[in-house]
């Protein structure tokens, strides 16, 4: 079992990280367990840039392998917005209920075939001072006309797939198709290949 610091204070993300990575042999340590609090300014213009900024900051603060993600909702009819600004959409202090209501209002009159959108997740792991691993995952869907479901967080209630919102899926169903699930599984494969290569070199 490999231990990594999850570069987030978001309890929902910590839960998903732990749930998805545990069967893959990766133990997730929360910053709280280490007594570490790191504030990272997300100045990147791309998800991958912000994920790297967070992973690097937590690696430097703890000296341990650090795993970060940056994710958001990209709506085609809005030119990809809110994108990297998903958490700050319509103000940092607005609730996700308010953010989703604003999003639905912006799409008023847009037919379903043009309401396509996707969640994107970029994963970055600073394994050591010389090794940075990156992976990405996407979850395609359409923006619903109203939020539905309670088993999710963020924009999950507003992104629909096959008639159900992401917040209406079970944990197992969500992990199988979610952007974060796909990105974390891709990362785990990359990590395994990296560690195997090191063993062969030694």
The per-residue pLDDT for range 87-138, each reduced to its tens digit, is 999 998 999 999 999 999 999 999 999 999 999 999 999 999 999 999 999 9
Predicted model pTM: 0.91
* pLDDT score, position 202: 62
Domain of residue 38 covers 2-201
| Nearest of 46, 32, 29 to residue 136 by alpha carbon | 46
Mean pLDDT, range 11-28, rounded to an integer:
90
* pLDDT score, position 6: 95
Q: Bridge partners of 125?
A: 67, 133
Binned at pLDDT 50, 70 and 90, residue 196 comes out as confident
* pLDDT score, position 166: 98
Number of domains the chain contains: 1
Q: Is there a contact between 50 and 94 (Cβ–Cβ < 8 Å)?
A: no
**Domain with 132 in it: what CATH number?**
3.90.950.10
Is residue 130 among the annotated active site residues? no
* Active-site annotation holder among 70, 76, 130, 156: 70
Q: Which residues, including other chains, have CB under 8 Å from residue 129's CB and lie 6 or more apart? A: none
Q: Classify residue 155 by burial, with Cβ atoms within 10 Å: 0-12, 13-18, 19+.
A: buried
């Amino acid at each position: 079992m490999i231990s990594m610091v999850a570069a987030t204070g978001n309890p929902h993300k910590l839960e998903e990280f732990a749930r998805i990575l545990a069967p893959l042999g990766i133990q997730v340590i929360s910053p709280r367990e280490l007594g570490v609090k790191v504030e990272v300014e997300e100045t990147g213009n791309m998800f991958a840039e912000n994920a790297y900024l967070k992973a690097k900051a937590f690696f430097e603060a703890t000296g341990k392998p650090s795993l970060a993600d940056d994710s958001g909702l990209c709506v085609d009819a809005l030119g990809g917005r809110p994108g990297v600004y998903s958490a700050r959409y319509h103000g940092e202090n607005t609730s996700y209920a308010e953010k989703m209501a604003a999003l639905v209002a912006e799409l008023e009159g847009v037919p379903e075939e043009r309401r396509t959108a996707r969640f994107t997740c970029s994963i970055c792991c600073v394994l050591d001072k010389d090794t940075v691993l990156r992976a990405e995952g996407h979850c395609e869907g359409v923006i619903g006309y109203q939020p539905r479901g309670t088993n999710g967080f963020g924009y999950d209630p507003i992104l629909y797939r096959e008639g159900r919102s992401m917040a209406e899926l079970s944990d197992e169903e969500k992990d199988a198709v979610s952007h974060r699930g796909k990105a974390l599984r891709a990362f785990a494969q990359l990590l395994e290949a990296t560690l195997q290569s090191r063993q062969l070199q030694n």
